[in-house]
């Protein structure tokens, strides 16, 4: 039986090689700069409904409304919003 660490390292090498080849050949595309509500929610670990509620209440991350129903979130804005909600160890926010 192979050592578990060796197995994990081999899997990681195979995944990295597959991703590199996929990006090089166009099978995979890098994440876009602008995400729809569902993708933005997935990035933040939220539900699309939760994102919509926060947007309507004005308490969520910044967004772009390109037209009446076309809403997009910049990845940098999502990351900045998360960083603003960082809690230091020992700091209690309830």
Task: Supply the pLDDT for residue 88.
Answer: 86
Every domain of the chain and the residues it spans: 1-30, 34-84
In the chain, what is the straight-line distance between the N-terminal and C-terminal CA atoms, in Å? 49
Would the pTM of this model clear 0.85, i.e. be above it?
Answer: no
Cα 29–34–35 angle (5° rounding)?
85
Distance CA 24, CA 9 (A): 22
- How many CB atoms are located within 10 Å of the residue 79 CB? 13
The 10s digit of each residue's pLDDT in 12-69 is: 999 989 888 877 787 777 668 999 999 899 999 999 999 999 999 999 999 999 888 8
Distance CA 41, CA 43 (A): 5
């Amino acid at each position: 039986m192979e050592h578990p660490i060796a197995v994990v390292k081999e899997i990681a090498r195979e995944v990295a090689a597959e991703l590199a080849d996929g990006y090089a050949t166009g099978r995979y595309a890098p994440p876009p700069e602008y995400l729809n509500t569902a993708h933005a929610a997935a990035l933040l670990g939220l539900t699309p409904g939760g994102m919509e509620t926060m947007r309507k209440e004005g308490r969520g991350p910044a967004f772009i409304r390109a037209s009446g129903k076309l809403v997009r979130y910049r990845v940098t804005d999502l990351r900045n919003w998360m960083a603003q909600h960082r809690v230091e160890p020992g700091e209690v926010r309830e």
